[in-house]
Amino acid sequence: MLKKQLIMEKALELFAKQGFEATSVQQITDYCGISKGAFYLSFKSKDELILALIDYFLSEFISNTDYSVRNTDDDEVLYQFYYNTFDSFQKHSNFAKVLMKEQSHSLNKELFLKMRYYDSLLENIILSMIDRLYGCEIEDTRYDLMFCIKGFMNTFSQFFLFSHLPYDLTRLSQSLVEKTNLLAKQTTIPFISKDMITIVKQSVDETTKENVMELLEQKVEELDNALVKESLILLKQQLNEPVFPQAIVAGLLKNIQEHPHCKWVAYLLRQRLG
């Protein structure tokens, strides 16, 4: 196991037990059985380690969710959205617990902005799903419905994570689909407006084209898979100067989406290349 990966896995165990603030670098290194020097070769600080963990888990969650929503038929997309969400929470329950505990009272501005960034990406995915399913019929209440969906995700995740009760994931997803459809069809009094959303989103940093280009270059250097490597190179060219038809771009994105280390860059490229 790579030392950086070891540190992330062991630190996550401590964070889940003690929280971010109560866990020191010394405790992490003792738990890993390494020196502080070895820790600082991988991470400049504990804050950098925390941000790396957030990026690792949330970028995977967002990219997988976006891909699922885009590639699931309308009659199944809402069910699949909920199912994948709670399945992911189950698989990464330790990280989900510490994230829920810390994000509500963290005074770390960088951590707050990082969380808000991924939250904004999730909101965009939910809104795209709402527009597909309900269209102009709920134009005035689409933002309210988006917050209700996020509320279902957060509330039910916390209930099961902290109560340790077993639950039927299929039944839960079906129940939330029914609730969401009822809200979409019956809600008539909007509260959240487009202007309110715009003001909130102005404080969220967006990934720039330069950031994506840099990530592409990094992946090209890191990976050995010839097909994935060539696809990344062609997608970088497309991002810089569009020349390929949409069908070819879609095929290239599919090539890299299936690689475990390219899901996030595939997501970022889909936002820019369609």
Residues 113-144: tens digit of each pLDDT: 778 888 999 999 999 999 999 998 899 999 99
* CA distances (Å), origin 110, targets 47, 105, 117, 162, 167: 9, 13, 10, 26, 35
- The pLDDT value given to residue 84: 94
- The pLDDT value given to residue 264: 83
Half-sphere exposure of 156 (CA within 13 A, CB side): 22
- The pLDDT value given to residue 199: 65
Q: Looking at the whole model, is its pTM more than 0.95? A: no
- The pLDDT value given to residue 205: 54
* CB proximity list for 239: less than 8 A, separation 6 or greater: 209, 212, 213, 216, 269, 272, 273
Measured in Å, how far apart are the chain's first and last C-alpha atoms?
36
- The pLDDT value given to residue 107: 47
* CB proximity list for 84: less than 8 A, separation 6 or greater: 64, 65, 68
Give buried/exposed letters for 87-124 (b at 16+ CB in 10 A, else e). ebbeebeebbbbbebbbeebeeeebeebbbbbebbbbe
Hey, what domains does the chain have and what are their CATH numbers?
3-44 (1.10.10.60), 49-201 (1.10.357.10), 209-273 (no CATH)
What stretches in the chain show pLDDT beneath 50?
1, 105, 107
81 close to 66: Cβ distance less than 8 angstroms: no
Amino acid at 239: L
